[in-house]
Amino acid sequence: MTGSLQIRPRFRLLAQMPPDEVLGKIKSHLTSPDAKCTGMVSNHHAMLRMPDAVTHYWSPRLTVQVDEHENGTMLRCLFGPAPTVWTLFIAIYAAVSFCAMVSLIWGSVQLSLGMDSDIIWLSPLCAAIGFTAWLVAGYGQTLGKDQMTTLRQSLFDALGDLQEADTDS
């Protein structure tokens, strides 16, 4: 993880054990009393999240895809928000984009016909709203940064010796 804000940060790890053992260790760690996170394990996937007692609107989730690799097991890890947060921001971006396109097209047509086009000024407003939504999402990610570290550390606690993998593999 880098210090910069990213949309759905991701990283890859290599474990020196077979995929079934990786999933088993994650599952047993999640059910242990000293686990700092909760989650679920299913076929070649695991999802880690913070316990309900410390969860807030911006709490991240760590999705782990487990695949067989020539050197053991490749873990493809992806941080993301709760589905409701993700859906809200996609809806905001879609609505703002649609509004900006309509105002640009409508305003351009009015201008080409020699009419006054007050609606075209809606486009910069839409851009400002979209930028504000992006800033709010970045702020939310900052609020969840400590929890991201906790989730990542829980993965290391569950599996022990993990190595950072090249992003090419």
pLDDT at 160: 86
In sequence order, which residues have a C-beta less than 8 Å from that of residue 103 and are 6 or more positions away? Answer: 119, 120, 121, 122, 123, 126
Nearest to 94 by CA among 133, 145, 52: 133
Dist CA 141 CA 90 (whole Å): 15
pLDDT in tens, 103-149: 999 999 999 999 999 999 999 999 999 999 999 998 998 999 999 99
Q: Return the CATH architecture of domain 10-81+145-164.
A: 2-Layer Sandwich (3.30)
Provide the pLDDT for residue 169. Answer: 45
Burial class (CB in 10 A: 0-12, 13-18, 19+), 37: buried
Residue numbers of the chain with a pLDDT score lower than 50:
1-2, 169
CA 37 – CA 31 distance, rounded (Å): 9
